[in-house]
Amino acid sequence: MGSSNNSPVDAKPTIPASGIEDITHGAGQSSENDVVSEPVNERTHRRTLNSAPIMPTLRHLLKQNHIEAADVTGTGKNGRITKEDVDRILQLRVSSQAESTDNQPIQRTSTPSTAVKASPQKENDDVASTISRGGLAMFRSMTQALTIPHFMYSHEVDLTVLNDVRSSCKASAAASAPSTTLSPLPFVIKALSQAFLIDRRINAHLDTSVSPPQVIIRSRHNFGIAVDSPHGLVVPVIKDVQSLSVATIASEVKRLGLLAREGRLVPENLEGATFTVSNIGSIGGNVVAPIIVPPMVAIVAIGRARHVPVFQTDATGVEHIVKRDQLCMTWSADHRVLDGATIARVAEHTRLLVENVDTWSVALN
C-alpha cells in the first residue's frame, strides 16, 4: 500500500507561532491580543506533545484522510497518537458532515448520489457537491471499513459446464416462458451458500461493541447483492438463500434488481445481510479488491466471464488447446476472524460446485 516515512512527525521545519497567525489572519493583522491566539497556541502545543514517532500505519491513515498530526490530541504514552485518536477525528468529521447535510437545503442534479447548492454555473466552473443522505450511508460504512484488516484471495472458475446447463434450461423453458433468462449469478450464489457449510464463520457478524469481541455465526444465509442503479449503488438482500432453489434465486435477483432501478426498494429489502456478492462483471473488469461492509466478515466479487485458451489432455495423452469459459472470483476477508487457509478451502469448494453444476439436483420451475 505504499511506503511509509519512519521519521518523527516533527522532523519537518516548524513554523513560528507568528507565522501561523499571519496565515490565519492575513499579513499585518495578527497581534498577541488577538482573540484566536489561544487556539493557535493550543495547536502549537499539540504539535510539541505529538513529537513522539507515529506508527507507519497511523501515518498512512492520517495522510489518507488528509489529517495533520498537529490537529490530533495524542492520548498514548508520551503524547503518542493512537488508532483511537484518529478514529475519534473521523467520527467527528462524519457527524459534522451529517449535521451539515440535514440542516442545509439542497437541489438534486443529474448525479443521483450527490446534491449541490443552487448557484449560477459558468462553463468550466468547478462544482462543490455535498453527499446526499443516501450517499452518507455508504460514507459512514466505508469509513468504518477502514478499521478492518482486509486480505484478498482470487481464483478462476470454469463456466463451460454451467453454460451448457443454462442453454439446456433455456431450451426446455422456451415453450412456456420464451423470455426466461438464467445468468451464471444465481448458480454462483447457490454454490456459495452450500460451500459455507464447510466453515460457517464466513457467514457471520463481528460484534466489537463488547469486550472481548464476539463472532456471531448466522444460521440464515442472507446475501446482499450489489446493484448499480440510476440512484447509486444499492445492496438489496436475498433472504434464506440456503433454502432457495437456483430458479427462485434467479427470480429474486430479477425482482430486486428491477426495484433498485426503479427506486422502489424499501428498508426491508436492504436489511439483514450476512454476506455480500458484488457482480462487478456485469459492468466490466476481472479482478477487483472488494471492501467488506461491517459487521460482516467477508465479501466476494465476481468478474466478467470470458473465453480463454486452455491446455487439455485427451484420452491418448495428447495435449490440445481448447476454448473454455472462465470468470475470476475475488474474496476479501476480515483477518481478525478468518485466515487464508479457510478462505482458500471455501473458495475451492465453491469452484468445484460451480464447475460440476450438472450433478446438482436443482428444481428450476
Q: Find the angle CA(108)-CA(109)-CA(111) to the nearest 5 degrees.
A: 110
Quickly name the fold that domain 150-359 has.
Chloramphenicol Acetyltransferase (3.30.559)
Task: Please tell me the CATH code under which domain 9-103 is placed.
Answer: 4.10.320.10
Other CB atoms closer than 10 Å to residue 221's CB: what's the count?
23
Domains of the chain by residue range = 9-103, 106-147, 150-359
The closest alpha carbon to 142, from 292, 277, 272, belongs to 292
| 223-229/275-278 β-pairing | parallel
Retrieve residue 102's grid coordinates.
440535514
Q: How many whole angstroms separate alpha carbon 165 and alpha carbon 181?
A: 12
Contact 273, 296 (CB under 8 A): yes
* Interval 128-184: pLDDT, tens: 877 776 677 778 888 888 889 999 999 999 999 999 998 888 777 655 554 457 899
DSSP string over 139-152: HHHHHHHTTS-EEE
Q: How many whole angstroms separate alpha carbon 337 and alpha carbon 143?
A: 20
Any idea which residues carry the catalytic annotation?
Answer: 335, 339
What is the rounded end-to-end Cα distance, in angstroms, of the chain? 48
- The letter for the amino acid at 66 is H
Other CB atoms closer than 10 Å to residue 343's CB: what's the count?
22
* Interval 253-284: pLDDT, tens: 999 999 999 989 999 999 999 999 999 888 87
Q: Report how far apart, in Å, the C-alpha atoms of 160 and of each of 116, 154, 184, 237 are.
A: 48, 19, 11, 28
Beta strand spans in the chain (E)? 107-108, 114-116, 130-131, 150-158, 204-207, 214-217, 223-229, 232-234, 237-238, 275-278, 298-302, 306-313, 319-334
Q: How far is CA 142 from the centre of its chain?
A: 6
Other CB atoms closer than 10 Å to residue 267's CB: what's the count?
6
Q: How many whole angstroms separate alpha carbon 335 and alpha carbon 329?
A: 18
Q: How many whole angstroms separate alpha carbon 326 and alpha carbon 328?
A: 7
**In a structure prediction context, what are the per-residue pLDDT tens digits for the chain, which is 365 residues long?**
444 444 444 444 444 443 333 333 344 444 444 444 444 455 555 555 555 678 777 787 888 788 888 788 888 777 788 888 888 888 777 766 655 555 554 444 444 444 444 455 566 778 887 777 667 777 888 888 888 999 999 999 999 999 999 888 877 765 555 445 789 999 999 999 999 999 999 999 999 999 999 999 999 999 999 998 887 889 999 999 999 999 999 999 999 999 999 989 999 999 999 999 999 888 877 888 899 999 999 999 999 999 898 888 888 888 889 899 999 999 999 999 999 999 999 999 999 999 999 887 554 44
